[in-house]
């Protein structure tokens, strides 16, 4: 009997010991899980997820240093009053039309040729690149910092501006710029009224000595055709990207108004391309040339067209020119 009691006693003590061990193990596991959860939460608190043009990007929760590696993002930074730590340069200098607004930004390379060493040294929180770039360059930039392929499509201008605003806490300013532009565009459309009915207007650009036309949704075209409501020429409707247009084809369109953009750095091998175009007999025979309705560089020739900065500047210039 005593032997049985001893066995029972030992069994009970063993069970209690095992229970205690199990309890300790459970507490350790719970503690480990809590530590992991806390670390996960801290990690989440340090980052944020941003959806831009239907794609998600993870960036620091507080973005302090932005590298604007495209002219589009530089224009948005300028109009919002954002000071990037780095920006692209033209021949080693900030573009003149943005230089004052972006003063202090360090050169991170030339257009389409980012300097990776400089970017690494700046340690940006995000890089605003360009959607026109080659995929392998974009991949290299993502190794430096989260990289957004900032859209060059003009109809994405609001998405671009709102991205910049979200990253920099300037949402209110962006809303004011967007609503202000739309109000001004509506008023300009009413001002022009029926005066341009049946008239043809085109935006052309001289690059490498050739004359280019753009699709309806690119460059400065949306201001003319979407916002001011001008008729879209067939050659613009059919363009898939920026395309060279011959003098003969241009003569067939015979535009009444031409907004012609010419930048010297884009015509280094053809510095007299503008003069030669203006002296071309076919060019001189068109309505726009004959009637003095060719407007050269109404906005800075480096302006990208599809940004709040470009649209605001061109809307004012185009409205003034079209009412002359």
Contact status, residue 60 vs residue 168, Cβ threshold 8 Å: no
* Number of structural domains the chain divides into: 2
Looking at the structure, tell me whether residues 313 and 206 fall in a common domain: yes
pLDDT at 4 over 70: no
Looking at the structure, tell me whether residues 198 and 266 fall in a common domain: yes
Closest CA to 148 of 251, 270, 66: 66
State the pLDDT at residue 25.
53
Mean pLDDT of 199-228: 96
Mean pLDDT of 68-95: 96
State the pLDDT at residue 22.
52
Looking at the structure, tell me whether residues 193 and 311 fall in a common domain: yes
Looking at the structure, tell me whether residues 209 and 153 fall in a common domain: no
Which of 24-28, 167-171, 211-215, 229-233 shows the lowest mean pLDDT across its residues? 24-28
Q: Note whether residue 271 is domain-resident.
A: yes
Contact status, residue 103 vs residue 82, Cβ threshold 8 Å: no
Which of 24-33, 57-66, 97-106, 254-263 shows the lowest mean pLDDT across its residues? 24-33
Looking at the structure, tell me whether residues 142 and 198 fall in a common domain: no
Which of 4-18, 104-118, 137-151, 291-305 shows the lowest mean pLDDT across its residues? 4-18
Last residue of a domain, one of 112, 137, 169: 169
State the pLDDT at residue 125.
98
Question: What are 67's strand-pairing partners?
Answer: 86, 127
Angle at 221 between CA 218 and CA 222, to 5 degrees: 85
The tens digit of pLDDT for each residue in 129-177 reads 999 887 788 889 999 999 999 999 999 999 999 999 999 999 999 999 9
Looking at the structure, tell me whether residues 156 and 236 fall in a common domain: no
Looking at the structure, tell me whether residues 244 and 296 fall in a common domain: yes
Q: Note whether residue 37 is domain-resident.
A: no
Looking at the structure, tell me whether residues 117 and 144 fall in a common domain: yes
Contact status, residue 74 vs residue 129, Cβ threshold 8 Å: no
State the pLDDT at residue 16.
42
- What's the CATH number where 56 sits? 3.40.50.1980
Last residue of a domain, one of 135, 169, 203: 169
The tens digit of pLDDT for each residue in 234-288 reads 999 999 999 999 999 999 999 999 999 999 999 999 999 999 999 999 999 999 9
State the pLDDT at residue 174.
98
Residue 280, domain extent: 188-322
Contact status, residue 221 vs residue 154, Cβ threshold 8 Å: yes
Task: Please state the φ and ψ torsions of residue 247, each to the nearest 5 degrees.
Answer: -60, -35
Which of 83-87, 89-93, 97-101, 305-309 shows the lowest mean pLDDT across its residues? 89-93
Looking at the structure, tell me whether residues 158 and 259 fall in a common domain: no
State the pLDDT at residue 91.
87
Question: What are 50's strand-pairing partners?
Answer: 57
Q: Note whether residue 159 is domain-resident.
A: yes
d(CA 197, CA 38): 65
Which of 24-28, 46-50, 93-97, 296-300 shows the lowest mean pLDDT across its residues? 24-28
Looking at the structure, tell me whether residues 151 and 192 fall in a common domain: no
DSSP character at residue 219: T
pLDDT at 61 over 80: yes
> Residue 144, SS3?
coil
pLDDT at 315 over 80: yes
d(CA 90, CA 197): 40
Looking at the structure, tell me whether residues 162 and 101 fall in a common domain: yes
Question: Which residue is listed with tokens 């670390």?
Answer: 39
Q: Note whether residue 216 is domain-resident.
A: yes
Mean pLDDT of 291-298: 98
Q: Note whether residue 219 is domain-resident.
A: yes
Q: Note whether residue 39 is domain-resident.
A: no
Mean pLDDT of 58-71: 96
Whole-angstrom CA distances from 17 to 5, 9, 146 are 18, 12, 53
pLDDT at 37 over 70: no
Looking at the structure, tell me whether residues 165 and 194 fall in a common domain: no
Band of residue 49 on the pLDDT scale cut at 50, 70, 90: very high
Q: Note whether residue 8 is domain-resident.
A: no
Q: Note whether residue 43 is domain-resident.
A: no
Contact status, residue 212 vs residue 245, Cβ threshold 8 Å: yes
HSE of 37 in the Cβ direction (CA atoms, 13 Å)? 6
Last residue of a domain, one of 169, 200, 234: 169
H/E segment holding residue 77: helix 71-80
Query: pTM for the full model?
Result: 0.84
């Amino acid at each position: 009997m005593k032997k049985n009691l001893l066995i029972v006693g030992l069994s009970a003590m063993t069970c209690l010991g095992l229970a205690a061990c199990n309890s300790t193990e459970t507490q350790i596991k719970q503690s480990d899980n809590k530590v992991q959860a806390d670390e996960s939460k801290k990690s989440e608190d340090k980052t944020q997820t941003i959806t831009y043009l239907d794609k998600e990007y993870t960036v620091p929760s507080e973005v302090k240093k932005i590298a604007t590696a495209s002219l589009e993002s530089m224009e948005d930074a300028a109009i919002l009053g954002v000071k990037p730590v780095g920006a692209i340069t033209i021949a080693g200098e900030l573009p003149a039309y943005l230089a004052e607004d972006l003063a202090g930004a360090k050169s991170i390379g030339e257009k389409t040729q980012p300097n990776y060493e400089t970017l690494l040294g700046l340690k940006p929180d995000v890089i605003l690149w360009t959607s026109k770039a080659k995929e392998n360059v974009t991949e290299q930039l993502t190794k430096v910092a989260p990289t957004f392929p900032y859209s060059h499509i003009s109809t994405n201008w609001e998405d671009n501006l709102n991205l910049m605003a979200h990253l920099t806490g300037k949402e209110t300013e962006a809303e004011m710029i967007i609503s202000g532009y739309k109000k001004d565009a509506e008023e300009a459309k009413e001002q022009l009224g029926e005066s341009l009915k049946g008239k043809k207007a085109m935006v052309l650009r001289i690059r490498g000595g050739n004359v280019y036309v753009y699709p309806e949704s690119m460059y400065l075209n949306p201001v003319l055709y979407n916002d001011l409501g001008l008729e879209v020429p067939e050659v613009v409707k059919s363009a898939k990207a920026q395309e060279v247009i011959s003098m003969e084809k241009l003569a067939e369109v015979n535009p009444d108004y031409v907004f012609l953009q010419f930048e010297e750095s884009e015509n280094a091998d053809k510095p007299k391309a503008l003069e030669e175009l203006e002296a071309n007999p076919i060019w001189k025979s068109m309505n726009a040339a004959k009637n003095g309705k060719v407007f050269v560089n109404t906005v800075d020739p480096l302006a990208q067209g599809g940004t709040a900065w470009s649209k605001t500047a061109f809307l004012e210039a185009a409205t003034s020119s079209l009412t002359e």
